[in-house]
Amino acid sequence: MPPRYSTPHRSRAMKMSTRLHACLKSGTTAGGFGFALNSPAAVEFLLLDVDLDFIIIETQHAPVSAADAAHLLRAAQSADPQATPIARVPCHDVYWIQQMLDLGFVGLVVPLCESADQARALVQATYYPPLGLRSIASAIRAKMYDDYINQANDHIILLPQIESRRGLENVEQIAAVEGVNALLLGPADLSLDCGWFDHLPEIWSYPPFIEALDRITAACNANNIPLATMVGGESVFHAQKAGLQIICSGVDTIAMRNTAPAVNDIMDRLHKD
């Protein structure tokens, strides 16, 4: 009789290559959605009904801890394992980058990247040697991916965010850093820093912004990397028309706020009776 616990191992490994990777390979537009409510149920419900190429879990502008992010990621992958999971971390801290990658996030959006030196530091924190200096651990959630240690460097998507005047001034050098495989444009913060904020949400037709966008796009094209953004409403289609390939088309907090007019209408009608 074989030992009690000798059942052959049945691999449940997931593939790191998901929809966003397929979009980047084919050159098609990738559409995604952001989550900041810290609600696994909200993540799960939306992904059960909408085919997203990727999701972004917000930890910069939301009270979401690393432990919270793990629950949100589990909900996403249980509902749709092919939607590429990305985390927006709150800072450049190695701890946050390591935690999100060890949890199993495949992409990282890192805010306020303003120089090539900062970009190189992000690469060092994000990738295993020889490209970076990411610390290795055997008992991490990311090991759910097939052959993770050998596959990670080829599949992780690092998106430094260009959202300041200084970042714009150094965008050519940032885009050229090996390991930076996409840039993410922050239209609102860039406009705020450059004095264009009063032109939101019509910023996509504002000449100084268009000039800045052209410069960022040229830097991406010169290094054969895509440009991403996080916008909503009609700005989604302005971004697509401008040639951006990775577009996060909204966030759950704003989507919920946008239901307010309908709820107010119902309340008004109830109170009239």
**Active-site residue, 61 included:** yes
Catalytic residue among 9, 21, 61, 155: 61
Residue type, 32: G
The encoded tokens of residue 18 equal 């998901």
Q: Which residues are catalytic?
A: 61
